Amino acid sequence: MITFVAALVVGTRVMPLGSANRDESTYVAMAQMIEDGRLTLPAGQMPFRPWASGVRDGRIVMKYTPPWPAALAAADAATGSLRVAPALAAAVAVVLVYLLAAEVLHDRRRAMVAAALFAASPFVLVQAATYLSYVFQVALELGFAVLFLTGARGAPRAGARMAAAGLLIGVAAYARTYDAIIFAVPVFGAVAWGRPWRAPARWAAHLAAGAAAPAAAFLVTNAVTMGAPTKLPFTVTGPSDVLGFGRRGVFPQFAVPFRFGDGVSALVANLGWLGLWGAGGPVLVVLAVLGLRGRLRDPGGRAMLAVLVVVPLALVPFWGSYAVVHYWAGAASLGPFYHLIVLVPMVVLAAEGAGRLVARARRPRPVALALVAAMATVSVALMIRPIERNLDVTRRYRAAERAARAAPPRSLLVLPERGSVGFESWTPFLLNRPDLDQPVLYAEDRDAGNFATLDRYPARTALRVVQEGDRRSLPARFELRRLERQRGRTLEVAVDVRAPSGAQAYLRGTGAEQVRSLGSGAGTERLVWRIGAPGSGAEVTVPDDLGVLAVGVVSEPPGRRPRRWEVRIPYRVVGDQLELLRPGRSWRRVGRVWRELSVDAVVREVPPSP
């Protein structure tokens, strides 16, 4: 109960709109789809799709599988709150840690200590405060381990226990296939070690019988969503999000190099973070080492060691474990979540180590109290910065939420960093209903593709959400700007430029680049281009029926990288008319990448004349 309440408190107080892991929005969207009786969405809803999805056979397919979203949907239907599901999963996991530790350690007091260490771990509380699937996955795997270990030692109704274990690990494999495999295989192998072959064969048969139903559901889901039972929805975003080394990423266009050395460095970094996110931080690690001695003679102890060794090694070829410690602060703000299951053998062995330490002390009670105080102090000290990180994210989300709430009813908000770049979005919590029947719709900013989106909803007021200031500053500022269509045979595009000395202005998207030299940079200079459709006689004509004009400034300081600021204005040609969508999107070149940031200080788009 304490774990359940604590998870709800952290979720509602620290991360009420979600965490920096934007996958939360995908799980919530899938839960809403399941409540609406859907597994996929029409491909026509692409501008409104959740992050981490792709199109297959004319349908939008979500990257993840239904078990965890179904649990979220069930919690919402039963209680009116999605948050009940992760909090309940954490509470169940604590009970299962106790049962597992009792089976491994043969000591109920130490099992209680293991459960308390798991419940008190900031890692568990933070993950249980999110809509992510990791605590749910751990609960399924723990249930499998408890039933399998008790069945293997010949507890009453051993066959039924094994079948139930198969059911749970089958659901776990349905939810997160690789995670279930790298947990179940070492546990099975460690317990089967040294046994006559007939016993493991019998266990495997019972496990397979129990796993048959979730395996069938898994294959049917694949067939419905991907067109073939063996094709995983996880690959719907592209072939680069797979195990192994090479260029890896959720979407191929954002893939990054991932080498064996990167996997090894990720292993070290994630284990380092894991040592900081358990109850007591490094103290827990020391106690686990103390508790390992002598545990290899029994199956449960071997299973704990197998998980400690195999799971981290099996994650070496998975690029995601590298991304959370290198490309974004996932491990710093949410813990090394791919390694959450490794916390289980750590707390079990730490409970054994703590028990031995206290038992050998001349004054056991003061030693136990001192150990608890030290671990609590270390945990609190280590968690100050992660809590601050999550509160920073919430402040930015709140700023975006305030801007979105200012939108009038029957409006269409065009949002930056959605769709394929949803991993960077500051508005992941703004979700569309599966049927798109809601007062305000939230659409991905798709440049020239926005024309089709606006054509679909002509009666809605179209607004663009613009992020002001440096994207790393907190709190951020968000502004709503009304989108207007400008149409004519020739149209005027004007910008006010206040650029560094020696900079140049340019116009792209018209075939040949139009370049103009700027003055000394002492004041503001207005630049005007007359642009038209082909055959309009304008000084500049667009080459295609649909595209983007980029009006920008480039500065090339000696010995430094060029600096660029751009305003990108979508256009399309309708008959002999040119149509622009104003205002355009602001982009700034930061290092080697473009960021959607305000550029008004350098190049400001002049609103068209009425």
3-class SS string, 40-92? EEEHHHHHHCCCCEEEECCEEEECCCCHHHHHHHHHHHHHCCCCHHHHHHHHH
Torsion of CA 436, 441, 443, 449, to 10 degrees: 80
CA dist 449 and 220 (Å) reads: 34
361: Cα within 13 Å, side-chain hemisphere: 15
Ramachandran category for residue 537: left, alpha or beta (phi over 0 → left; psi -120 to 50 → alpha): left
pLDDT band at residue 552 using 50, 70 and 90 as cut-offs: very high
pLDDT band at residue 533 using 50, 70 and 90 as cut-offs: confident
pLDDT band at residue 456 using 50, 70 and 90 as cut-offs: very high
> Using CB atoms within 10 A of its CB, is residue 488 exposed (0-12), middle (13-18) or buried (19+)?
middle
pLDDT band at residue 181 using 50, 70 and 90 as cut-offs: very high
Q: What are 349's two structure tokens?
A: 């062995």
Residues 6+ apart with CB under 8 A from 247: 240, 255, 256, 257, 258
112 has pLDDT over 50: yes
pLDDT at 296 (0 to 100): 76
* Residue 465 parent element (H or E): strand 461-468
290 and 357 Cβ atoms separated by less than 8 Å: yes
Q: What are 589's two structure tokens?
A: 């070149």
Residues 6+ apart with CB under 8 A from 404: 413, 427, 430, 440, 442, 465, 478
Q: What is the largest CA-CA distance in the chain?
A: 97
Residue pLDDT, tens place only, 352-370: 999 998 888 778 888 888 8
**Does 583 sit behind a cis peptide bond, omega within 30 degrees of 0 on the bond before it?**
yes
Residue ranges of domains in the chain: 2-230+271-387, 399-482, 485-605
Average pLDDT taken over every residue of the chain: 91
49 and 100 Cβ atoms separated by less than 8 Å: no
Q: Which residue has the higher pLDDT, 593 or 401?
A: 401
CA dist 156 and 160 (Å) reads: 9
Strands 461-468 and 411-415, bridge-based pairing: parallel
120 and 277 Cβ atoms separated by less than 8 Å: no
180 has pLDDT over 80: yes
pLDDT at 520 (0 to 100): 64
CA dist 247 and 322 (Å) reads: 13
pLDDT at 540 (0 to 100): 87
CA dist 43 and 60 (Å) reads: 5
pLDDT band at residue 32 using 50, 70 and 90 as cut-offs: very high
Question: 542-565: buried (b, 16+ CB within 10 Å) or exposed (e) per residue?
Answer: beeeebbbbbbbbbeeeeeeebbb
470 has pLDDT over 60: no
- Overall average pLDDT of the 545-558 stretch: 89
Range with the poorest average pLDDT among 469-473, 512-516, 531-535, 603-607? 469-473
Residues 6+ apart with CB under 8 A from 206: 151, 159, 162, 163, 165, 166
> Using CB atoms within 10 A of its CB, is residue 251 exposed (0-12), middle (13-18) or buried (19+)?
middle
Residue pLDDT, tens place only, 248-303: 999 988 899 999 999 999 999 999 999 999 999 999 999 999 998 877 778 899 99
Long-range contacts of 41-44 (CB under 8 A, 24+ apart): 41/434
pLDDT band at residue 245 using 50, 70 and 90 as cut-offs: very high
